[in-house]
Every structure is written in structure tokens, then in C-alpha cells.
Chains A and B, each alone.
Chain A
Amino acid sequence: MIQTFFNIEIIAAAWPIVLSGLLNTILLSLIVVPLGLFGGLILALLASVKNPLVRWPLMAWVDFFRAFPPLVLLILLFAGLPFAGLELGGFACVAIAFFLNTGAYYGEIFRAGIDSVPAGQVEAGRSTGLSRLQAMGYIVLPQAVRNVLPDLLSNTLEVVKLTSLGSVVAVPELLYQARQAQSLTYNPTPIVVAAIIYFLMLWPLVRLLSRLENRALAGRR
């Protein structure tokens, strides 16, 4: 059993491939997380304009991406756009799909955060002579982010996990490289190693989150 699923020789042979996958996963995460945060921030700032003409389309936008599986979005870009003469690489498709999908999720979180800051804060800030934008940037956002930090972290965890979808469109991230190594060696060890790497990489974040969440929910009573 250990010979099959955790073969040392195979690990040694596949290690360079798996390692390059890990580096790409980290790189991909470093790109798509800020991209999603940026998209989310834009959505939340737009939503803070209390105009129903702005707010309703935004709500529809967010609901749309909550209902739409990210893999479908990715395939739509990767396999659909070439028919319109637009041939984007797997990497660009991942970046766009993540910007849209995770942006919607981050947007909801930021919006909840902004809503959680009492209106008096803005009024006080405005009365000291700050502009609307300044009040938002210096007074509301810092408090909003602190209030929803666990949710932001939790979504970031999901985004990092989601980078594994890149394997479907041939982005050479961890899962893709592990699959390559598996088919080269006729042995499942590389996938097991990839799973262990994901676990070791994300476990600390999961531990932290589970503490934060327990505290948050327990504090509501």
C-alpha cells in the first residue's frame, strides 16, 4: 500500500515537477487574491452609493456569480471566446474568471463590513471637513475591514483552493503538475504528495479561521 501511494522513489523523481507546480500555485494565488480583493472593493464602494439604480444591478451581479459555478465561467472563457476570435491563454482566463467570481464574493463581504460601521462615523468625519472619499478611506474602510476580517480570510482560503481549477485549462499549477507526474510514472503518489502539500500549506489558516468563527458565532448570543 505504501509502495503504491507513498513511493519514496517516485516522490524523488516527481519532486521537481511537483515543486514547480507549487511555485505556480503560490504565484497564481498572489495574483488572483489581490485581483479579487480589488474587484470586491470596487463593487462594495459602488454599493455604498445608496441609489437603487446602482444598488439593484449590483445585487443582481453578485447573485449571478453566486449562482454560477466558477469552473463553468472558466470553461466559457477558455472554450467559448476563441469562437469570437479571442484566444486568451489558460492563465488569462483564470485571472478574468477569478476577478469576476471571487470579486463578487469579496464584494459581498466588504459591503457587509461597510454596512456594519455606524452612520455616525461618516457624519462625524464629514463634519470635520473630510470629503466623502476621505471619510470612506480613512474612517469607514479601516473599521469595516476589521469587522469582517474572518470572512475575508475565509474567502481567501477558498480562492487559494480554487486555483486548482487552473489544472482544467492547462495552467501548470500544483494539481496539474501532479497529474502530469502521475501519468508519467503510472503511480498515484504525486497526487497524494500534492494533497499533502495543500493540506500543510492551508492547515494553519483553517485552524486560525475555525477559532475566529467559533468566537464570532458564540459572541452573538
Chain B
Amino acid sequence: MSTWDRFVDTFFNGKVMLKYLPDILSGMVVTIELAVLIVLSGLAAGLALALVRSLAIRPLNWLIIFIVDLFRSLPPLVIIVLMYFGLPYAEISPSGFVSTWLSLAFVLMAFSEEIFWAGITSVHKGQWEASRSTGLSFGQTLINVVLPQALRLTIPPLTNRTIAITKGTALGTVVAVTEILGEASSAVSNSYNPSPLMMGAAAYLVLFLPVVVLARRLETKFAWKR
């Protein structure tokens, strides 16, 4: 066997790949489930916090700022490990899936709150005053006047963050979530062949590359005009 053949036989072994393809596919399903849950709950919670913050209730805002700072400064893996290995000592035992989901959702919540909040504050004060003076309530002003302008502004930084945090689903493998990396790693140790890992890597690209390309387009479309 030539070196090249040996290389292909080791890293792209057809038989091994075929055998473990179903595992990788089921890993992809878990990764997608996790990703969708994280994005939906993280962004919703972040927007909710930013809206509460716009009510300008002092003690509440301090609390929000503290929570946001906390989840921005802790590494996601530390939060996941803390939940999965720490909480059971308090008689709460979240599964690896739930630990990963909640941890990354909290992190996304923190980052997106900052971005949404910056977007809301960037809308000129005159906009608030003008719309309040036409008789719109605080809530109506926020939803119909301020948010549409604010959200547009937040899209470029938000897509970037969301992708970076959602990629973190791979961290779930540390707490035994059977997502792509977890499935690929156990397939490697079962088959003693790295081909499943190459498949896993390809699976991530299949899932995330289109999102990255789409994000690039969105970013150009909504780019800040200088």
C-alpha cells in the first residue's frame, strides 16, 4: 500500500464510515435540537431582560447587569461542568443535555441582552418623545417605534455571537451528550479508526457553514453605514 492509500484507509475508511454513519446522523439531530433550543430561549431571554432594563427600575437593573456580567465572564464549559457535576450535590441532577442547553442559553442571554440594550439606547431620545407626544403608551412606543430601529442595528453583532455560542453545543460531549462530537469520539474508540471523527468534522461544516455564509450576507446587508 502506498502512503496515500494508507492515509485514505486510515482517515477516510469507507467501511468504518458506512458503519458509523447512522450514529453521526443521530448526533446531528441532537446537535440541531440543542442549537435550536439555545438560540430560541437565549435570544428570547436576552430580549426580555433588555426590555425590563428599559423600564429603568434601579435595583432591577443592577441585578440584570450583574447576571449579564457573570455569564459573560464565566467560560461556558465551566458553567456546564458546574451544573452537571455540581448541582447533583444539591439533589438536583440535570441531564447532560439540559445542562448544556441551559448553560449556553444563559450565556447567549447575557451577550444578546447587552447587544439588544445597546440597540435600544442607540435610538435617539427624540424618537421616544415624539412618539409619546402622539399619544402612544410606553409599551407601544417601545414595540412600534424603538424596537424596529434597534433590532436592525443589532443584527451584525448578534449573528456573530449567536453562531459562536451555538457552536458550543460540542461542549456537551464533556457531559456525555450524544451530539456529533460525542458520537464521533465513541465511534473512534470503538473502531480504533479516526474516520468517524472526520465524518463528525464534516457534519459540523454541513450544519454551520451555510449559517456562517448567510450571516455574512446579513451582516453586509445590515452593515452600519459610516
Q: C-beta contact mask, B181-220 vs A, less than 8 Å → 1, else 0?
A: 1000100100001100110110011001101110010000
Inter-chain contact A191/B181, CB cutoff 8 Å: no
Inter-chain contact B73/A206, CB cutoff 8 Å: yes
Inter-chain contact B212/A221, CB cutoff 8 Å: no
Inter-chain contact B85/A72, CB cutoff 8 Å: no
Q: Closest B residue to A203 by CB, please name it.
A: B73
Inter-chain contact B181/A69, CB cutoff 8 Å: yes
Inter-chain contact B197/A75, CB cutoff 8 Å: yes
Interface size on B, residues (CB 8 A): 59
Q: C-beta contact mask, A185-221 vs B, less than 8 Å → 1, else 0?
A: 0011001101100110111011100100110011011
Inter-chain contact B193/A203, CB cutoff 8 Å: no
Inter-chain contact A161/B75, CB cutoff 8 Å: yes
Which of B75, B193, B198 is within 8 Å of A162, CB to CB?
B75
Interface extent on A, as a size class?
35 or more
Q: C-beta contact mask, B135-178 vs A, less than 8 Å → 1, else 0?
A: 00000000000000000010001000001100111110110000
**Which of A12-20, A32-40, A78-86, A120-128 is the contact stretch?**
A78-86
**Which of B17-25, B38-46, B114-122 is the contact stretch?**
B114-122
Chain A proximity of B82: nearest CB distance (Å)? 5
Q: C-beta contact mask, B63-100 vs A, less than 8 Å → 1, else 0?
A: 00000111011111111011001100110000000000
Chain A proximity of B128: nearest CB distance (Å)? 13
Cα of A182 to Cα of B216 in the assembled complex, Å: 43
Inter-chain contact B118/A191, CB cutoff 8 Å: no
Q: Closest B residue to A163 by CB, please name it.
A: B75
- Indicate whether A198 sits within 8 Å of B89 (C-beta atoms), given known contacts A63-B209, A64-B205, A72-B170: no
Q: C-beta contact mask, A171-187 vs B, less than 8 Å → 1, else 0?
A: 00001000100100001
- Indicate whether A168 sits within 8 Å of B204 (C-beta atoms), given known contacts A83-B10, A84-B10: no
Interface residues in chain A, defined as those with a beta carbon under 8 Å from any beta carbon in chain B:
1, 4-5, 63-64, 66-72, 75-76, 79-80, 83-84, 157-158, 161-165, 167-168, 175, 179, 182, 187-188, 191-192, 194-195, 198-199, 201-203, 205-207, 210, 213-214, 217-218, 220-221
**Besides the contacts A80-B197, A194-B78, what 10 more A-B pairs have beta carbons closer than 8 Å?**
A63-B212, A66-B208, A69-B170, A83-B11, A167-B77, A188-B82, A195-B78, A202-B73, A220-B153, A221-B124
- Please provide the 6 A-B residue pairs with the shortest distance between their CB atoms, ordered closest to farther: A67-B208, A202-B73, A188-B86, A161-B75, A69-B170, A217-B118
